[in-house]
């Protein structure tokens, strides 16, 4: 596959010219990875019309050369990355106004800009690179598809080993071992296994509760491949499902299908969210769907765009988003079904293949 990085950099430079800054200090590691390929955990990147310089430390000396190639000049900074910035900036011709990423700079580092960097004119920027990252290219889509395949294979391998008596944490451990076995290079987040009444907590962590027959078992997890994440939720019943469990499950399943099928380029995140919300609301469970419909996935497990009541931005072609409606009844339990969906010019393509029908675990 051809190197996509020069085109990404060129697009960013166009944006910089429009934003009226001479250079951008990139401090988001995901953004640095997107522009240069560098996957380490310590770096700053400075991009101007002429230069693109990546600063990292000695731990990454071998890795950085390998990953970055010709996409940036690399400087291994022996003291601190910030010292590197103060040595670098005066050498860049014509750089006076420098943008920084307002969502990715902690206050202590902002103080540095005002103190050591007082000779430059600092301008806050937002989402310059994130906006570009919303639309995935074929290589990125292939990585996400692979991360989905790995997650699905892991879930298939883990399910036969999940039974009553295990704690949620143990069940999550079984799944995470299978994620590694299937080739996941990391976990995008700590896998969630929430059982019984705890499945009603939309962001439960796996805990000490033991799985019990009759429980909903909600599993929310993902894999990482070449830095790209998948994010999937399935809800099972341990043993035979009750009528009430089936009723709630079917509503969430239908809300998921309707929202996935309705996604279109140009639709706002608000409109997408509304498709699932109106359906759930009409059946009397509107109050029980307290979170947003979904979010973009890519190098980060939560990235632009958002599909939510307040997300005014239109969805772009190439976006990969989660569709994750849920119904949560406190003290009783909850259901969430989450798929990963690619938005193409011809409409939505659901990338998740794991069956959505209610499955009773033995």
> Which residues form the interface with Zn ion (CB under 5 A)?
220, 231, 233, 322, 338
CA distance 183 to 203: 26
Q: Closest CB to Zn ion among 26 and 337?
A: 337
- Residue 294 pairs in a beta bridge with 307
CA distance 193 to 322: 18
Q: How far is the CB of 323 from Zn ion (least distance, A)?
A: 9
Q: How far is the CB of 128 from Zn ion (least distance, A)?
A: 24
Q: Closest CB to Zn ion among 260 and 322?
A: 322
Q: Closest CB to Zn ion among 54 and 263?
A: 263
Q: Closest CB to Zn ion among 57 and 149?
A: 149
DSSP secondary structure letters along 102-126: TTS--HHHHHHHHHTTTTSEEEEE-
Q: How far is the CB of 297 from Zn ion (least distance, A)?
A: 7
The number of helices, as runs of H, and strands, as runs of E, in the chain is 10, 19
Q: How far is the CB of 326 from Zn ion (least distance, A)?
A: 10
DSSP assignment, residue 291? S
Q: Is 264 exposed, middle or buried (CB count within 10 Å of its CB: 0-12, 13-18, 19+)?
A: middle
CA distance 307 to 350: 16
Q: How far is the CB of 148 from Zn ion (least distance, A)?
A: 12
Q: Closest CB to Zn ion among 233 and 352?
A: 233
- Do the Cβ atoms of 193 and 155 come closer than 8 Å? no
Q: Closest CB to Zn ion among 75 and 198?
A: 198
Mention every residue, 6+ apart, whose C-beta is less than 8 A from residue 141: 318, 320, 342
Q: Closest CB to Zn ion among 135 and 322?
A: 322
Q: Which helix (H) or strand (E) is 194 found in, with range? A: strand 192-195
| Angle, in degrees to the nearest 10, between helices 5-19 and 29-36 | 120
Q: How far is the CB of 104 from Zn ion (least distance, A)?
A: 21
Q: How far is the CB of 124 from Zn ion (least distance, A)?
A: 28
């Amino acid at each position: 596959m051809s190197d996509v990085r020069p085109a990404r950099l060129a697009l960013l430079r166009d944006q910089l010219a429009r934003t009226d800054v001479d250079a951008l200090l990139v401090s988001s590691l995901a953004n640095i990875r997107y522009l240069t390929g560098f996957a380490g955990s310590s770096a700053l990147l400075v991009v101007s019309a002429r230069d693109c310089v990546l600063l990292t430390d000695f731990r990454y000396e071998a890795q950085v050369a390998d990953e970055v190639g010709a996409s940036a000049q690399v400087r291994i900074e022996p003291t601190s990355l910030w010292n590197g910035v103060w040595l670098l900036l005066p050498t860049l011709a014509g750089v006076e106004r420098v943008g920084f990423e307002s969502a990715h700079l902690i206050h202590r580092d902002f103080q540095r800009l005002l103190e050591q960097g007082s000779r430059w004119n600092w301008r806050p920027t937002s989402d310059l690179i994130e906006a570009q990252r919303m639309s995935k290219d074929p290589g990125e889509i292939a990585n996400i598809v692979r991360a989905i395949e790995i997650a699905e294979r892991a879930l298939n391998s883990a399910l036969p080993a999940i039974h009553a008596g295990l704690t949620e944490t143990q069940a999550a451990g079984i799944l995470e071992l299978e994620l590694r076995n299937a080739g996941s290079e990391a976990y995008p987040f700590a896998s969630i296994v929430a059982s019984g009444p705890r499945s009603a907590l939309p962001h439960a962590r796996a805990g000490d509760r033991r799985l019990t027959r009759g429980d909903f078992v909600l599993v929310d997890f993902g894999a990482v491949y070449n830095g790209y994440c998948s994010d999937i939720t399935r809800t099972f019943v341990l043993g035979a499902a009750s009528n009430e469990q089936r009723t709630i499950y079917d509503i969430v399943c239908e809300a998921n299908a309707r929202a996935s099928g309705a996604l279109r380029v140009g639709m706002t995140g608000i409109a997408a969210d509304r498709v699932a919300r109106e359906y759930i609301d009409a059946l009397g469970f509107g109050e029980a769907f307290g979170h947003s419909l979904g979010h973009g996935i890519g190098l980060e497990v939560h990235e632009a765009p958002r599909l939510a009541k307040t997300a005014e931005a239109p969805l772009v072609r190439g976006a990969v988003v989660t569709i994750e409606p849920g119904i949560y009844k406190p003290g009783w339990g909850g259901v969430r079904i989450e798929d990963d969906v690619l938005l193409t010019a011809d409409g939505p393509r659901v990338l998740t293949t794991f069956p959505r029908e209610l499955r009773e675990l033995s």
